Structure 1
Amino acid sequence: MPLQFLGRRRNRLDLLVWALPLLGVATIAGLCLLIWGQLTTERQQVEREAEARVTGLTQAFEEYARRSLQQVDLISNFAALQVEQRARGEDWAGGAQTSLLKLGLAELPGVIGFYLADARGRVLDATRPMAVEEVGGRDYFLVHRDPGSAGLFIARPEPGRAGQPWQLPLTRRLQHGDGDFAGVLVVLLDPRHFTDFYRASQFGRQGVVALVGLDWVLRARRSGERLWFGDTAGNNYLIEQLKRWPEGSYVAGSKLDGVQRRLAYKTMQGYPLVALGGLSLEEVLAPYEARRALLLRLTALACLALLLAFGGLSLAAASLRRSQAARERARAQFEAAWDASTDAFWMLRAERDARGNLLDFRFSHCNARGAQLLGKSKEELIGRLRSEVFPDGGDSRFLMLYCAALRSRRTLQDEFGLDMPAARGLSLQHQVVPVGDGVALTLRDVTAERQREAAMLRTQAALQATEKRLRDITDNLPVLISYVDTQERLSFLNATFRAWTRMEPEQALGRPIKEVLDERRYAQRAPWLRRALAGERVSFELESERDGQPLWLRNDYVPDFGPDGVVQGIYGLSQDITVLKEVQRELLALARHDSLTGLANRHQFDEVLPLALARAARSGRALALLFLDVDKFKSINDSLGHAMGDAVLKEFARRLRESVRSVDLVARLAGDEFVVILEELSGEEEPALVAHKIAAAIARPFELEGQRLQVTTSIGIAYQSGGGAATVTPAALLQRADEALYEAKGAGRNTFRQTAF
């Protein structure tokens, strides 16, 4: 071997001796950087998951708290309206409490009780004993004295009496019909109702849920088993976050317990409250820290192993300078590199006859993967003919491909499988390169890629099928579904649009909604559109018309928020509720009329009598109330049955209605009791004449169901002159008429008695 060649070889080995330690250091540094990057990515992932989890829990907590407040808000508002509808001077406290009990306020989760206070702060009525009888100095009472204090006021939590839990007052202003302050309704809610949302399985032992007012006073807070009520929050992070966004997430420590947490908050719509949820960073990161410590220990061991390995390789490289087996080692390294490849590699030498005609190809080299595909060892394969290795000579495409590459001296590619046990079911990409009088063949397994491509095609087909199903569903819903972008252009409409407007959806898509609707219809929707595009979910009803017929629609506009939290458009849902409105009108009529006789019922009578007294006071004209019942009606029911009794009542009502003017109110109070309100009277003799007329009409025989009955009535009359109507209450007038009725019955029935104020 020439000395020059030996010198070059020693130089390469010297370089290898110095390069191996450097490579070891670089590898160890690279490993450390890789582990550091992996740990950083894992921590970021853990923190993102914690943020998503606490955001979801906080949204659920906000909805849970808001739903509880809305229930109290709705029932208390109804009670306030009843107080406002009562005449000044009436006992509104008892009526309001009865309404609240009927509506189930006392049964709502978390409600301890409630009480009513008048305009001077005196407690009038309560569902439980009160520690105080006067609340005029309480903050919520002072707030509600202001006429502008509408809606539910959420006061500061108050400690209960000895041994009693904390209570959170939820208050509402009560006022008379003229707007004057009547008092307050105070609902006492156990603030633990909100902290009951806390579950250690979801928040951990050091998590937190809190309900904070915009006055920064804690309405309720829980972490583990600790509770806080009425403390001042004062979290500077939360204050700064709320200045920018109504909901979000941040990391901060608590001044109350010193725990560092990932916190999420959401401003409660309709109430001056912020729902807050948090997870302890120590608990969230505990599994990560354990994995981090283990991975660092393993990395240290790996670095030590690498250090030892590269040290050994350096020693081996030094030994190679003195070794005479450099060529064998180089070949072994070459073989190892090919065997490590995931691609199969063959080298085939052409076999020719004496004339140079190509007969076959012989294996001259292969790597481990190439031998594995053929189900043989490398030693068994090298030196054998292709026709001997493949059953029946193999696929003819092999030989054609090899010959074509050899003739053209160009690299050729094709893709097909091998009919060998180890290669069945695989998609193989063949790359043939001419090398001398033979070819080098690389086979790459592309089965996974083809499977991914097939899966993508299946997914695409499934998405198209899903889109079609969704379109079929939306087109067959009795709801108009639309999507409007931020420029108020329609970009989606279902088939209901065609049925309602007689216009094809394609004619409206891409056009501003103002062009599709007329000016009046657009003006009805414009304010709601602007609110929805500003990020608010809105629901409203409006009256319209279709084909000349009245039409009621319920509309819901839902904002579509993009990943950046900016509204991209709104989803619109419109429902035809015309039939529902008609049913509501019919139910309202049924609620004011007696179902048996068709006359006004007690509810309508109670509405009309106070108004009649007020009109009499203004006009100075007299008014009379006639109280009637059917004489011996019980004997009719007992002897002839309830069906005949109902028939008598209907005929009695018909004759009574025909005996008075159309402007006079005739009502059935209950059973066989009836009343008549006579207005615009000139003197006391007029109601007596009407009573005579009624008695005569009733006295005519009743021809019912083939039977002839003799029915009479007794009448009590309460006469009220116009000048004193302002001082008479409806209850007093009805009481006088009732007393006069009993006088008529005492006088032998089938007569009347009259009394006057």
Structure 2
Amino acid sequence: MIPLPPPPVAHKPWMSRAATPLFIFPVIAVIALAMIWGATYKLIGIERAAAEHAVAVSGRELAETYEAQVVRALREIDQTLKLVKYAYERGRRFEVLQELKASALLPPELLFGISIADRDGNIVAGTRPPAQHNVASEDYFRVPRGVDTVFIGQPPRLVDDAKGKLQFSRRLSAPDGSFAGVVIISVDIAYFVSGYDAAKLGAHGMLGIVGTDGVFRARRSGDKVNAGDTVGKATIVSDADDEPAEARLVTNPWDGVQRYTSARQLFEFPLAVIVGLSADEQLAPARAAVRLHALQAGTASVVLLVVIFALWRMSRQLARARKRAAEEQVAHAARVEYLAYHDGLTALPNRTLFSKLLGQSISQARRYRRQLAVIFLDLDGFKAVNDTLGHEGGDALLKQVAVRLRECLRDSDTVARLGGDEFVALLPELTQDKYAAIVAQKILAAIARPFMLDGQEVRVSASIGISVYPEDGTDEQALGKNADTAMYKAKQEGKNNFQFYSETLNASSAERLSLEKALRHGLERGEFELHYQAKRDVQSGTITGVEALLRWRPDGGDIVEPGRFLPFAEETGLIVPIGRWVLMTACRQNAAWHALGLPRLTLSVNLSARQFNDPELLGHIGAALAESGMEAGLLELEITEALLIGNVERALKILDGLKDIGVRIAIDDFGAGYASLSLLKRFPLNTIKIDRSFIRDLTSGREDKAITRAIIAMGRTLSLTVVAQGVETKEQADYLRENACDEFQGYYLNVPMAPADIAELLRAQGKLPHRHDLHGGIELAAI
């Protein structure tokens, strides 16, 4: 029997309808709209959360800054109270204020009013006329009768811009220990909120000080100052007594404004500082961005619906167009995926893809008992390229570096860019550590070759750190961290080298100990010596001063260049005793030249960061001047911009101390840092020295010319002496002379010399005639 063929499969009507454009396109529209709005809401949520977090963290940082300001002011007030109390109880009685004022031991009267009340509350002495003659009924008189701590009185209730005082008091005791009265300091309430910065806090921000009793001692919002109103601290920030992670969003009860509020308890005083940022002001940009995203999503939705409707009507005629659109969508998805895992600038894998590849390689290495290496690379001098050629030049350099890195690796190896000028390479299936060292050496050689950027030859180097699996780590985080650590060790070793994380770092530690020992012995054995490089007046060519330069000759052998030992000396702190020796030796030498009848010279000595922050710096400078007999006005101390902007207030205090001694102050390598003109105006400077990087390309670089002219003009505006360092050619000297630079120094004039050679140079200067060069300046006839 021949079997019958199976009956044809009947297609269900709903399946047929689902395959038609009438059904497909609405479904596509719904899905696409869901994707658009889902992505939009997610993006809005991310941006809102990021903005809220940024504002909250900013509020905490402002609270920390405000806390430090308030604590400083309160400590000064409490110290003054203790001083008056001590002097009073030592028998000075009511004359104590006049005596302390005459000795300049009291704070300025403009800010603080100080008075003494006897045991009956009568004001018997004061630095200002008293606002009331008896304070017996005031809390700041009554409470201190039984306690010997600083007491902060409740202020009068102030509304908006009303004036008021905040009273601080301490108990005064009679010789028999009984209550003798109180000392009172009166301070304007507005003083404690004078740090209100509208640029950061906005028009509806808030600064305030509230007592543990819940009474505001001072509060400011915008230009309005208030005080005396009561509010529970728990309604502001519930955990104000703890260290807050960040500010919290609360509605402040006194004005109904919603603010990100941060409160910090002052452990030394019964007060808490409160800082608030208006949510409406701080989140306005984020809310505008949310509206923009919603508008964009709506526009995209409308466009999508129009397109879907058009496709629905022309589905049969545009079958090929639909296919092409699908292919384009696939290509776009592939492009998006590619961009998600690759660096857009260099086309190398990015951090995400490298992390995945490293995780896979670790799993395979663990399974097959293999080794692998991670190489972490950072470019040396990349910032200088960015500063000189701009970000376009820096991007071009990174692209060329990526090409050279790929050429140094096998096809099975991976190189990725992590960001900035940081690259990382993965060497899987590593048979021995030697291969990692070979690759690192190839990379150093490749990077060391000059790059051509915008027609200019640029040279950079690289610092490389290497970690090996499994010796230096068994997971991605450990290997990456250890390679990064080794890279920083390479930078400490002078850059342009590579370091392994393990044994090589241990050996390096031994070398560091050996170098430290050699430096200590070098100072003890007199192995250090000073050379001097002359500075000359640009117009006359006359030697106006010298700069002392340190040299090290271990065991009487060859000179070790400063770059090989000074960074280590700075790191270990040996720079402080070495710097003292330099200062003393240089001052003695300058005095010796003057004793020989040679012209008076300005002596420049460089100060490192550790020397500048040495608490005994002023004492050692004074001792060097006194012992050598050199005039203080002939000593010029050179510091970098970084020392000034690191801690402005501390730097200003130190510079004022140096100025009081009478020494000159110069900014070295000016232009290479970030000091602003407004900041420089605050410091008592005498000289700025133009960084040699601008002088080097002065005759060929248009930007360097413009920068140099601007620095010279700025120096003249600020009445500063402008010195160009690193002058190596006649063309550079002529340009500086034409643009009215004051002084210059460099190998074009003379190399650093021994003291005897400087003396001969000064004698020759007095004997030689002068001549005019082709540009109208004056040079020595022979040097």
TM-score, with structure 1 as normaliser:
0.43
Higher strand fraction: Structure 1 or Structure 2? 1
| Max Rg structure | 1
